[in-house]
A and B are shown apart, each in its own frame.
Chain A
């Protein structure tokens, strides 16, 4: 890449090559079409100048020609559409073997948390040639996590976890930008992605441990906030057991069923009355305002880490859905 006249950003992830492929295809097609139009306009403008051509011909139009220049561009558009859609699906489907990292955006910094507990601000260390899955959330307004070298970008929303992923193919340091206007210091909400060889990465990981893993921190919170007083596995507990909850369907008091993903767990902690688990009273207090997004993430991670109990019934103290037509099938929504 030219230092003084840079034309392309580094191509440093597995998706970057695919995106650039489409970009060059479109540049070629659109460039040629523009050229064609320009040449026609110039040729006509010169050939049919009033001095050479004082009397204009009378031409109404040409139906076949109209059809021609509708059908051909449409075909080309569909190639662009399909190609773009394919890339988009890849960008939105993280592979299963990815390292999981959480990102919290807030005015005006990026807070990053690794699965083993390393935390960094405005920097993200990752190993080369390894898929990395990011779970992103904002503490205040909408931000946008953008890494041009990876052709990666995702808006970071308040109140909702979103996931994206990348796999770096080059070691080095790359720009991290916030691409969504977020207030005064938007242009300072920048950072670095440091892609390292696996050895160097392992070394970095072992020397920068400052806190316990998110799940560990979450367990401390779980006890400190006395979640444990209600969420016990025994049958006398006032709240449902959380063991093995993650990823399972949850039957709600209104008869509907939801899957317990991160967003559901987060909502259960901050807005406990939004969805009530069937068979329980709405007595859980809200923790809104007492926890910041990182602490919520710690709790979510802790709950995710709880293995199912060794029982045939995973949810020991839950009401078993009645036999016959399950509530889900006779689903009614409250007005």
Chain B
């Protein structure tokens, strides 16, 4: 028990009290938040921003699901529907999923996990948040002033020569938010290299740090390509330079190469941090070092590297040569291998553990199920001859929702529950937590599993009217979406409630091993009283007492609710 010289581990007191000074009460007033450079406060600012964006994107999704309840077009007009799925995609991808885990949990945890006071560039961090919000405001302006269609993919020459919606405004919003991504990535990379506490070697980094690092590298390398691509779209649209439109002498397939060169790595921006969270959750709640630490860490790096050479698997029917298709299919199978390795290692971590079914673990197991299905269906899409049939159908829609929504949001919420005691100083209500995990898992599967069947039947993407024989699966999907909506709403309500009303958590309610748990909850502004000196390996649970809370009975747990 010599992790910290200044703050030795102490058993969790049974009735802890909130510390007198912490980052939340250090200063007060709106200005103290809007001008803060504390990574923890910035994490909360981001959380507010992306929650709002998620709500907007979610409303668009519900409207689409309502429209799709019946085969003919009845609820909204075709233009409105097209704008709904476009704006849903843009908001969810760039203003929720990409920033989700890195800017909230990442911002909060990166310095704490490595024993630092803050990120390397605290002011830059605040600037990222402002850039993000400016991007969001510009995008919302595009929505309010009439909206944008064309899909989140902006395929040319449709987007550059044929749409009369607010393409350039929306692209500008994404362009600006992209800089926020780049700055965040840069900040994390430098912090990971330069700010580790004495003794915190690379091999002692928590797995969340490894995947966050891999994500940051992608953010920095891929995002500029997106920025250039969107800029070229704007140039062709406004100035009629022939870049992508064949009528002007351009090449429409070039756009797709550029777009997916960013957007395939971007899907790993969304899933890698989630994988990091899951490694932490599974380890803590089975009180066991992750099986094959080096393989899990290495697979994050492998995914980030291979992720850059599979982009054209989105273009198997788009007009690339059969030999190019062959290479990209092969590379797609190569990139799925490290994901498979992770799933097997997580499963093996449970073996001979000491498992407690707390809400975060339920979320993690939910993630495991949904990510496995999502990843496996990626194998279907990577098989050339089969992809010809299911490309651009609901099969693809189901595939990426299983990973990006099923996987990433499960991990995000699991992580929020897990670190909530650290963030707020208080527990979340356990019964409600478990209920929300269950509702989300059931609702999610009911929403998206039917879409695999629809896709194989041939239901195209982005259709707002469809042949009547597909209806039954759409009805199931809409029913599932309602359950899912409730599932997402619940944590928002009870976590807000718990902020004032739940029992106080104490520094380490889970008996976890990470550095972030070795300081008070909520932490002081500089995280640690003195810089910790790390002498233990990561995930070394010896000598850390099992959490007192975990052995409490169900009834006691349920008293949090009342």
A interface residue numbers (CB < 8 A to B):
3-9, 15, 18-19, 22-23, 26, 30, 33-34, 37-38, 40-41, 44-45, 48-50, 53-62, 65-66, 69-70, 73-74, 77-78, 80-81, 83-92, 107, 140-142, 144, 146, 148-149, 151-155, 157-160, 162, 175, 177-188, 271
CB <8 Å contact, A88 and B253: no
A61 vs B348: C-alpha distance when bound (angstroms): 9
A186 vs B155: C-alpha distance when bound (angstroms): 14
Say whether, besides A22-B386, A62-B292, A37 and B151 are in contact (CB < 8 Å): no
A149 vs B386: C-alpha distance when bound (angstroms): 13
Q: How far is the CB of A267 from chain B (nearest CB, A)?
A: 10
In the assembled complex, which residues on chain A have CB atoms less than 8 Å from the CB atom of B288?
Answer: 56-59
Of the candidates B287, B382, B385, which one forms a contact with A56 in the assembled complex, judged by CB atoms under 8 Å apart?
B287
A158 vs B343: C-alpha distance when bound (angstroms): 43
Q: Is B557 an interface residue (CB 8 A)?
A: no
Of the candidates A61, A146, A158, which one forms a contact with B293 in the assembled complex, judged by CB atoms under 8 Å apart?
A61
In the assembled complex, which residues on chain A have CB atoms less than 8 Å from the CB atom of B368?
Answer: 37, 41
In the assembled complex, which residues on chain A have CB atoms less than 8 Å from the CB atom of B161?
Answer: 141
A81 vs B107: C-alpha distance when bound (angstroms): 40
CB <8 Å contact, A59 and B350: no
Of the candidates A41, A85, A184, which one forms a contact with B79 in the assembled complex, judged by CB atoms under 8 Å apart?
A184
A37 vs B348: C-alpha distance when bound (angstroms): 10
A19 vs B376: C-alpha distance when bound (angstroms): 17
Say whether, besides A9-B457, A53-B354, A87 and B384 are in contact (CB < 8 Å): yes
In the assembled complex, which residues on chain B have CB atoms less than 8 Å from the CB atom of A4?
Answer: 472
CB <8 Å contact, B466 and A153: no
Of the candidates B73, B317, B457, B550, which one forms a contact with A144 in the assembled complex, judged by CB atoms under 8 Å apart?
B317
CB <8 Å contact, B347 and A92: no
Besides the known contacts A157-B319, A181-B158, A187-B465, 17 further A-B residue pairs in the complex with CB atoms under 8 A apart: A7-B453, A23-B456, A30-B380, A50-B287, A56-B353, A61-B295, A69-B341, A77-B337, A80-B379, A81-B333, A84-B383, A84-B387, A85-B385, A89-B322, A140-B157, A149-B458, A153-B389
| Majority SS at the chain B contact face | helix
A74 vs B333: C-alpha distance when bound (angstroms): 8
Q: Is B294 an interface residue (CB 8 A)?
A: yes
CB <8 Å contact, B326 and A56: no
A172 vs B512: C-alpha distance when bound (angstroms): 64
Q: Is B460 an interface residue (CB 8 A)?
A: yes
Of the candidates B286, B462, B546, which one forms a contact with A54 in the assembled complex, judged by CB atoms under 8 Å apart?
B546
CB <8 Å contact, B466 and A83: no
**Nearest A-chain residue to B361, judged by Cβ:** A45
| Majority SS at the chain A contact face | mixed
CB <8 Å contact, B385 and A88: yes
CB <8 Å contact, A148 and B389: yes
A59 vs B457: C-alpha distance when bound (angstroms): 46
Q: Is B330 an interface residue (CB 8 A)?
A: yes
CB <8 Å contact, A19 and B385: yes
B contacts with A, residue count (CB < 8 A): 94
In the assembled complex, which residues on chain A have CB atoms less than 8 Å from the CB atom of B79?
Answer: 184
In the assembled complex, which residues on chain B have CB atoms less than 8 Å from the CB atom of A81?
Answer: 329-330, 333, 382-383
Which 9 pairs between the two chains have the least Cβ-Cβ distance? A87-B385, A148-B458, A159-B246, A84-B383, A88-B384, A61-B292, A44-B350, A187-B463, A57-B352
Say whether, besides A37-B343, A61-B293, A91 and B385 are in contact (CB < 8 Å): yes
What are 6 A-to-B residue pairs whose CB atoms are below 8 Å?
A9-B457, A37-B344, A50-B355, A148-B458, A152-B388, A179-B393
In the assembled complex, which residues on chain B have CB atoms less than 8 Å from the CB atom of A77?
Answer: 333, 336-337, 379
CB <8 Å contact, B383 and A83: yes
CB <8 Å contact, A140 and B162: yes
In the assembled complex, which residues on chain A have CB atoms less than 8 Å from the CB atom of B386?
Answer: 19, 22-23, 26, 84, 87
Of the candidates A40, A179, A183, which one forms a contact with B392 in the assembled complex, judged by CB atoms under 8 Å apart?
A179
Q: Is B26 an interface residue (CB 8 A)?
A: no
In the assembled complex, which residues on chain A have CB atoms less than 8 Å from the CB atom of B340?
Answer: 69-70, 73
CB <8 Å contact, B329 and A85: yes
CB <8 Å contact, A37 and B372: yes
Say whether, besides A84-B383, A87-B385, A175 and B351 are in contact (CB < 8 Å): no
A153 vs B393: C-alpha distance when bound (angstroms): 11
Q: How far is the CB of B502 from chain A (nearest CB, A)?
A: 22
**Nearest A-chain residue to B542, judged by Cβ:** A58
Which residues 344-392 in B have Cβ within 8 Å of A in the complex? Answer: 344-345, 347-348, 350-357, 365, 368-369, 372-373, 376-377, 379-380, 382-389, 391-392
Listed residue (A22, A23, A65, A187) with the most chain B CB atoms within 10 angstroms of its CB: A187
Of the candidates B157, B350, B467, which one forms a contact with A48 in the assembled complex, judged by CB atoms under 8 Å apart?
B350
Q: How far is the CB of A16 from chain B (nearest CB, A)?
A: 8
CB <8 Å contact, B343 and A84: no
Which residues 390-442 in B have Cβ within 8 Å of A in the complex? Answer: 391-393
A93 vs B392: C-alpha distance when bound (angstroms): 22
Q: How far is the CB of A134 from chain B (nearest CB, A)?
A: 13
A74 vs B340: C-alpha distance when bound (angstroms): 10
In the assembled complex, which residues on chain A have CB atoms less than 8 Å from the CB atom of B181?
Answer: none
Q: How far is the CB of A273 from chain B (nearest CB, A)?
A: 11
In the assembled complex, which residues on chain A have CB atoms less than 8 Å from the CB atom of B337?
Answer: 70, 73-74, 77
Which residues 121-166 in B have Cβ within 8 Å of A in the complex? Answer: 149-151, 155, 157-158, 161-163
CB <8 Å contact, B158 and A59: no
